[in-house]
Every structure is written in structure tokens, then in C-alpha cells.
Amino acid sequence: MSAKVKFFGAVRTVTGSMHMITNGRSRFIVDCGLFQGRRDESFERNTHFPLDPRELQACVLSHAHIDHSGNLPSLVKRGFRGRILATEATRDLCTEMLPDSGHIQEEDIRFVNKILKKRGLPPRLPLYTLKDSEEALRFFRGCKYRTPVQIEDGVTVTFYDAGHVLGSATPLIEMHNGTAPIRLAYAVDLGRKNAPILRDPERPPDIDYLILESTYGGRTHSPIEEAEEMLARTVRATAERGGKIIIPSFALERTQEIVYYLSRLIKQNRIPDLPIYVDSPLAVNITDVFRKHEECFDEETLSRLRANSDPFGTERIRYITDVADSKKLNGDARPMIIISASGMCEAGRILHHLRNNIENPKNTILIVGFVAKNTLGRRIVERAPTVRIFGEEQPLRAEVVIINAFSAHADRNELLDYVMPLKGRVKAIFIVHGDEDQSESLTALLKEQGFAVHMPFPEEEIELA
């Protein structure tokens, strides 16, 4: 029996990661992410699975980001009864993030149904609900790093640290078919060296096949120190003109990292001591999950903890969970920093803060993470003259600052560094998780280096020997 991999999601695009592996009798998927983009297309793609969830024995989950984990509730709703294998930190993060995503789905459909009703069209059901998410959590099994776990007879998975977000892993899947084993590693997503809080990415030993992300396959990031200086400059300039700094941020990782940098910059007197608010109940809960998982921390973070200096800035940063407190920020004209989710500006309290601040040229909207095509975040990055928020066009007059170097993704050079030691040993590299131009650019680079590289098409199936 031969092993096969079939590429379903995040193929020639970034979001919706999902791939299926079959090996003899066993059949399982790696990741089950939400596709994010235009509303109707997203709904269509997230609702219809190109496979039968009832036939799957397991889902190997790389990390908690919604574009990797966010369609698990739909999978369970459609009959999946296998195990969801993830690191312990990823399991704990999903315990916060999936119910939140279910809540967002419900809110979102309420908004859509209002519009449909006006047009005399029938209402829709949410993709999944908070309850569906809670049901999905029952199937999670937390795994330790670097410890093989059996998926089926002769098939194991071992999680290596991907250094991308808390709990993130590069799973190594080993399949024994009586002959030599086949080892498939899944480096999607892959982090950067020297990122704050987390340990550096590690490469699993002995890889025959590698599935590799390419979010920044054609671009390079500036060094992280430059990003920190740019953050300091942006805060100083905006504070001097009396404006607010609005930072749309993923509740997972980027928020904790920005807090980590801001508290360090204040301590070093490099920025004024402005009020800083983390306005996201999810980010608050996620920060608590961070505190429980020291096994994921790098040396600097551990030593800050040992020295009783909280790397998550509890001394000066105000964490907001209450809606009333969130609304109070609108009436407060002082310069301040507001960090709020979601990072792509598609949902959450960030929408209120953008609505209230986007028209004032004194303010700054600081983009610190990846924003997918066809999202509000991308339109802000493109500095569109007007943007639509809660169904209304608003002029974009605030300054837009983009800092890509905080990226949690390895850039072109870092991806190359990661694969170079595999030269002469890896049989093939499959490039996924990137806009097409980025995937193509990385494919060309690796081909130049003599690797066998392939950019799969959606639903393409490839035999592994």
C-alpha cells in the first residue's frame, strides 16, 4: 500500500490549511483551518468539505491559528469522530479560540441575516456555533513535544517546535509500510529565529518529504531590532501630535509580543509612558494560557520570569474584558495605545476602534501582522481612500504604518536556511500557504538550489514512495 498526500486548503493561497494523508487503511488530515476572504466564497468553502469527515481517524493540528484550526467545529459537526492531536499548549489555546470563533460566526450571521431580511431573502445558519466548538474540544488530545504518538498501526506523529506561536509545531509523520519508513514533515507555519517569548524553530531529523509554507516566500523582513525602533518612533510621533495608536492584532502571540516590546521600551525610556490598553477578552484569556506553558519559552523570557519581571506587562498595561470599559475609550481624547483583535480587522472590538479613529489624521493605525486579501486589514494596508466598516464607507485619514518585521513567519532567506541542510536527502518539497506570487518565488529559489520542488494545485494528490 502506498502513502499519498492530497492537498486541499491553503494551496496557492494563504488561509484554510488542510491536507489529507492516506496510508493503507489509515486516513487522516493535517490541519483543518478556516478559509478567510470574501464572505460568500468563505462560507461556501468552509461549509463544503471535499472529503468525508466520518472516514478520518485523526486530525494532526500544527497550531492554534484559526486558519489552521478554525474549521474543526464544522468537521466534528459533519461526523468526524477521530482524535485531534496537538501539543498541550495548542490544545489549551484552542479551548479559548474555538469557542470565540463560534461566537464570531453567530454574530456574523446575525448581521448577514439582517441584510438578507431587508432584501426579502431567507436567513442563513452560522457555519458553526459556540456549542459546536465546545463539542469539538472533546476530541483533542494534548501531546508533548518530541514524543512520538501513534495515529494508527505503523503511523506515528512527533511534534517539533515551530517557533511560530505558542504551542506551534512542525509535525513529523512517520509511516511504516513494511519497507523503509516514509517521513513527512509539515512546516506550516514556520517561525523566525530570535523572536520574543518563543524558542527558535527546530527541524525534525530525517525528512523525506517536506510541506513548506511560503507566506513570505518572495520577501525578506528587516531585522527585529529595526521593527522595535520603528514601533518606538511611531508611538513617539503619534503621541506628540496628540493622537491615538490603534493596533489591530491577533489575540494569539502578536498581542503578547507587542506588550512585551512596549513594556521594554517604556522601561528603557524610549517611549512616553502612555496608557496602554489590551482590549480583547480573548487576548486576556490567551495571555493566561501563556503563563501556563513555560515549556514553550526561550531563555530571555524564562529569566524575566525568574527575576519576577512579568514579560506580559501586568504592572502597567490595562487588560479590558468588559464592553462598558471598552466603550469608555471612545470618549477619552488622551493619546493612548489600543491593541485589539482581530488582526485582519474582520471581526471583534477593533472594528469599533477603527470606526471611531480612522477619520482623524492625528491618529495612527499600526499594522503589525499579515493581512489576507479581501479583508478590511488589507484595504487599510493598501491605503484605500475609503473603507467599509459595519456596512458604512468611511474616509481613511489616519496615518497607516506597517511593520512587517514582527512577522511570526520565516521570510525568504530564513526559509532557505531551514531547508539547506536537507539538500541531497529530501526527496521533494511541496510549497503551500502563500499568495501565488510568493509561492512561485520560493519555488524558483529552491529549484535554483537543486531541490525537487512542487507547487500543488487544489485537490492534487501525490504518491509518496
Comparing CB distances to Zn ion, the nearer of 67 and 108 is 67
> Residue 117 burial (CB < 10 Å; 0-12/13-18/19+)?
exposed
Comparing CB distances to Zn ion, the nearer of 7 and 277 is 7
Comparing CB distances to Zn ion, the nearer of 186 and 319 is 186
Stretch touching Zn ion by CB under 5 A, among 185-193, 217-225, 299-307, 327-335: 185-193
Residues binding Zn ion: number (CB under 5 A): 3
- Say if CB 273 and CB 237 are below 8 A apart: no
> Within 13 Å, how many C-alpha atoms sit on residue 185's CB side?
26
CB of 253 to Zn ion, least distance (A): 8
Which residue in 283, 260, 279, 280 sits closest to 198, CA to CA?
A: 260
CB of 451 to Zn ion, least distance (A): 22
CB of 34 to Zn ion, least distance (A): 10
CB of 442 to Zn ion, least distance (A): 15
CB of 169 to Zn ion, least distance (A): 11
User: Which set of grid coordinates corresponds to residue 443?
Assistant: 519555488
Comparing CB distances to Zn ion, the nearer of 65 and 264 is 65
The 141-180 site mask, x for binding Zn ion (CB under 5 A), equals ----------------------------------------
Comparing CB distances to Zn ion, the nearer of 337 and 432 is 432
Residue 192 in the binding site for Zn ion (CB under 5 A) = no
CB of 30 to Zn ion, least distance (A): 12
Q: How far apart are CA 440 and CA 458, in angstroms?
A: 15
Cα–Cα separations (whole angstroms), residue 13 to 212, 254, 395 = 13, 22, 29
Q: Read off the amino acid at residue 394.
A: Q
Residue 349 in the binding site for Zn ion (CB under 5 A) = no
- Say if CB 29 and CB 35 are below 8 A apart: no
CB of 398 to Zn ion, least distance (A): 27
Residue 253 in the binding site for Zn ion (CB under 5 A) = no
CB of 4 to Zn ion, least distance (A): 23
CB of 183 to Zn ion, least distance (A): 22
56-95 residues in contact with Zn ion (CB under 5 A) are: 65, 67
Comparing CB distances to Zn ion, the nearer of 45 and 65 is 65
Stretch touching Zn ion by CB under 5 A, among 18-26, 186-194, 294-302, 437-445: 186-194
Contact with Zn ion (CB under 5 A) among 96, 189, 253, 414: 189
Stretch touching Zn ion by CB under 5 A, among 189-197, 246-254, 260-268, 351-359: 189-197
Comparing CB distances to Zn ion, the nearer of 17 and 357 is 17
Residue nearest to Zn ion (CB): 65
Stretch touching Zn ion by CB under 5 A, among 107-115, 184-192, 217-225, 286-294: 184-192
Comparing CB distances to Zn ion, the nearer of 61 and 276 is 61
Which chain residues interact with Zn ion by CB under 5 A?
A: 65, 67, 189
